[in-house]
Structure 1
Amino acid sequence: MYERSQAFCVMNRNKRGITLDLTRPQGLALAKRLLAGADVVADNYSVDVLPKLGLGYDVLRKLNPRLVMLSMSAFGANSLYRDCRAYGSTLEQGAGLPIVVGNPDGPPVMSHVAFGDAVGGLNGCAAVLVALIHARNTGRGQFIDLAQIECMMPFAAPWITLQSIGGMSPPKYGTRHPQFVPHGCFRCLGEDSWVMLAAIDDKMWQRLAILIGRPDWAIDASLQSAEARRCIEDEIERAIEAWTHTRDADQAMSKLQAGRIAAGVARQPTDLLKDPHLRSRAFLQEVERAFIGLYPQPSMPIRDGAGPVAIRTAAPALGEHNGEVLSGLLGLSCAEIAQLASEGIIGTSMLSEGS
């Protein structure tokens, strides 16, 4: 099943992949030979994993003074929590997000999205690019100590600011909003069909009130501010849902947007495979990969031409490029590579399966 991991297949396309048993001297020696000619090494292990293997920055910079090493642990190398094991949910909790989302009278709510990996990767990419410029100009590499938990802090910054000013934890709003009234998710015609909408200014509120059949609200002077509408927010939401509940979600979105009201369908994940916007951008590309077959892959969200950046190759299967990399970069012979495979230093299956 590891060959079918969706995240791996998306994140590792256009790359080559090899296997090395770093716990054995031959595998460690090959890793050092590869790193001696590398520009960047990145890891998101716990902070002591690579040093214990003999691949700490103190060792690698002697092999390659220009090497940029990016360590992407959860809490950082010099943290009080450096030895804590952490996953995506750990970082979400540590950043304070579950406390500030959800319903006002409810417990902390988890998103179960590993934000730390993606946001840590973006910050790590920026740090590596700057470090590479430094290495090119000076001939010296750097050790970058990135703490994924710190990359999460901007998510919580608005609540930190509000609590610092007011001295109390800001209230939770659920799908409502501290500034915009109304703001929320409303049921549409059909099963599990929803549309999100927001009135982000008073003019938009007036247009919304007319659209849902309440022109009296549009001209009511007592409702011309979000603070005033907050007093009857429940009633407003019931009126909106009475309007949305008789319409297909896409139809509701179209009518709302035609009325210059911020709105969007709450899509099911599988709906994205046939989303007209994504199709118009050719965002999904068909990729053929061993163990999976032909399947759609998302493109990069940036492009420098009319079409998306091409996916040249699918993500590598385990050990797919052992021979190509070890012969091409290190000059190993076919016999040497075969010997490494026979000894289990390299391979094309998990060690637990091959042993």
Structure 2
Amino acid sequence: MAGPLQGIKVIEIGTLIAAPFAARLMAEFGAEVIKVEAPGEGDPIRKWRKLHKGTSLWWYLQSRNKKSISINLKAPEGIALVKQLCADADVLIENMKPGALEKLGLGWDVLHALNPKLTMVRISGYGQTGPYKDRPGFGAIGEAMGGIRYTTGEAGGVPARVGVSLGDSLASLHAVMGALMSVLRVKMGNGDGQVVDVSLVESVFNLMESLVPEYDLLGHVRERSGGALPGIAPSNTYPTRDGSYVVIAGNSNPIYKRLMHAIGRADMAEDPQFAQNDGRAAQETLIDAAIAGWTSAHSIDEVLAVLERAEVPAGRIYSVKDIVADPHYQARDMLLDTELPDGVHVKMPGIVPKLSETPGEVRWQGPTLGEHTDSVLSALGVAAADIAALRQRGVVA
């Protein structure tokens, strides 16, 4: 079944997380993604996190469905090959330092003149303009300066991070949105390609809800609050009798009533001062104490059973062990059985979102370095003898 992005050609000049994740998402839905890697070691993510026989398991996930072509961008002939790749491409995704592509002779002015329909997606720490544009920026810095680190952690404690590279992944999602909006404009005949300028900091900042108007108008600075969600009540993490924790979100008016009735607090369910969120938020400590008193007297299975019957959103906090064992994940094809090059089978995350008519698919795992160099160059019209000569001169690998 053809993916919805079949016919879209994407060139990826990126390493590690932000640009490669964005390109992976497009590849999963049918785009032809050609990943340009440097000869030698290629993308450093090939050696990140846990390795299997010398190759990162993350690599096999992050680069699935991509074609790897190894080109020496320090060689003029290598730059010429990239220009050939971009001449009929729809999207170029890169996450080099601002100005780096320009130094290589692959800046926007050059590529736009070569292919006016090309969309150039540029992911960087701070964006392509502004006083910080030349600073190095990783996802962790985007999380710090975007506001989310300040609001994450226990009240009065040290700012914390989530256990994944959230800043990079948020930038990837914004990059894909921008790329598709630009490509749609081109395909509809409404104009040429354009630059999609994605900042790690701004991608995080875009998720920070009403942080700015609350500060600007009310002088309120949102602080760290542990598992709670201040101003939206009740929504918190509560202990259970068996040492587990349960997340309960009873913060709509009818759900709050069902929750309090379910835990035997009809008095609080029907109290007029708790009928609306602002009243509950003013007394969230009192409400949380009542809920925690009930959850602490029951096992997590008992808590979840009661709340499910009452139609109250609640869930246990999953480890990866819980995820892999969960029947719902399995039923939703979110745990795919895949085969590595050595024949070993390993589970990998499934594809999101789920499209009813043109779902995404995994056609192959992350390729070996330069695995598709010959086939990609042949498709450009480069003769086999010329490819061999380029390889001998160190232009491709």
Please state which band the TM-score falls in when normalised by the shorter chain.
0.7 to 0.9
Deviations 1:250-294 (A, max 9, x none): 443232111222211111123211211111122222122326832
> Any unmatched runs of 5+ in structure 2?
1-45, 48-53
Tell me the distance in 2 between the aligned counterparts of 1:189 and 1:320: 54
CA contact 1:290–1:317 (8 Å) conserved in 2: no
User: Are residues 1:194 and 2:237 paired?
Assistant: no
1:277 alignment partner in structure 2: 328
Worse-matched range after superposition: 178-187 or 85-94: 178-187
1:239 alignment partner in structure 2: 293
2:355 alignment partner in structure 1: 304
- Relative to structure 1, the CA distance from residue 227 to residue 287 in structure 2 (aligned partners, 3 Å threshold; closer, same or farther) is closer
1:172 alignment partner in structure 2: 224
Tell me the distance in 2 between the aligned counterparts of 1:69 and 1:305: 29
Q: CA deviation at 1:231?
A: 5.2
2:307 alignment partner in structure 1: 256
CA contact 2:71–2:78 (8 Å) conserved in 1: yes
> Any unmatched runs of 5+ in structure 1?
348-355
Match among 151, 171, 180 for residue 203 of structure 2: 151
* Mapping 1:38-49, distance limit 5 Å: 38-49=89-100
Tell me the distance in 2 between the aligned counterparts of 1:215 and 1:116: 43
CA contact 1:283–1:308 (8 Å) conserved in 2: no
Deviations 1:76-114 (A, max 9, x none): 112211111111110001111122232222232222533
Worse-matched range after superposition: 223-232 or 103-112: 223-232
Tell me the distance in 2 between the aligned counterparts of 1:190 and 1:339: 68
1:336 alignment partner in structure 2: 386
Worse-matched range after superposition: 206-215 or 10-19: 206-215
Q: CA deviation at 1:32?
A: 1.8
2:215 alignment partner in structure 1: 163
Identity over aligned residues, as a percent? Answer: 28
**Higher helix proportion, which one?**
1
Match among 68, 71, 77 for residue 26 of structure 1: 77
Which has the larger Rg?
1
Tell me the distance in 2 between the aligned counterparts of 1:282 and 1:142: 36
CA contact 2:117–2:192 (8 Å) conserved in 1: yes
Match among 268, 286, 309 for residue 319 of structure 2: 268
SS at match of 1:157: coil
Q: CA deviation at 1:16?
A: 1.2
Match among 220, 232, 236 for residue 184 of structure 1: 236
User: Are residues 1:67 and 2:121 paired?
Assistant: no
Q: CA deviation at 1:50?
A: 0.9
1:127 alignment partner in structure 2: 178
1:346 alignment partner in structure 2: 396
1:14 alignment partner in structure 2: 65
User: Are residues 1:230 and 2:230 paired?
Assistant: no
Letter in 2 for 1:163: Y
User: Are residues 1:321 and 2:372 paired?
Assistant: yes
SS at match of 2:212: helix
Worse-matched range after superposition: 90-99 or 168-177: 168-177
Tell me the distance in 2 between the aligned counterparts of 1:227 and 1:44: 42
Tell me the distance in 1 between the aligned counterparts of 2:343 and 2:97: 31
CA contact 1:257–1:263 (8 Å) conserved in 2: yes
Match among 75, 91, 103 for residue 52 of structure 1: 103
Count matched residues: 342
Q: What is the TM-score with the length of structure 2 in the denominator?
A: 0.76
CA contact 1:70–1:124 (8 Å) conserved in 2: yes
Q: What is the TM-score with the length of structure 1 in the denominator?
A: 0.84
Letter in 2 for 1:313: W
- Relative to structure 1, the CA distance from residue 221 to residue 24 in structure 2 (aligned partners, 3 Å threshold; closer, same or farther) is closer
CA contact 1:9–1:315 (8 Å) conserved in 2: yes
Letter in 2 for 1:92: E
Q: CA deviation at 1:56?
A: 1.0
- Relative to structure 1, the CA distance from residue 155 to residue 133 in structure 2 (aligned partners, 3 Å threshold; closer, same or farther) is closer
Q: CA RMSD in A?
A: 2.9
- Relative to structure 1, the CA distance from residue 182 to residue 116 in structure 2 (aligned partners, 3 Å threshold; closer, same or farther) is closer
